[in-house]
Amino acid sequence: MRTPLIVALCLASALGACGGDDAVSDDSNEMVDCSLLTDVDEFTVGLTKPGFGGELEFSLMSANPAPPSRGDNSWLLEVRQGGAPSDGEAITVFPFMPQHGHTTPTPAVVTPAGAPGQYTLDPVNFWMPGVWEVTIDAEKADRIDTALFRFCIPS
Contact flag: residue 70 with Cu ion (CB under 5 A): no
Angle at the Cα of 16 from the Cα atoms of 12 and 18, rounded to 5 degrees: 45
Q: Which of 77, 91, 97, 131 binds Cu ion (CB under 5 A)?
A: 97
Q: Which of 76, 128, 147, 153 binds Cu ion (CB under 5 A)?
A: 128
Query: Quick one: which of 70, 48, 34 has its CA closest to 152?
Result: 34
Nearest approach, Cβ of residue 91 and Cu ion (Å): 24
Contact flag: residue 134 with Cu ion (CB under 5 A): no
Q: Which residue is nearest to Cu ion (CB)?
A: 100
Q: How far is CA 75 from CA 64, 120, 129, 136, in A?
A: 6, 6, 18, 12
Contact flag: residue 152 with Cu ion (CB under 5 A): no
Interaction site with Cu ion (CB under 5 A):
97, 100, 128
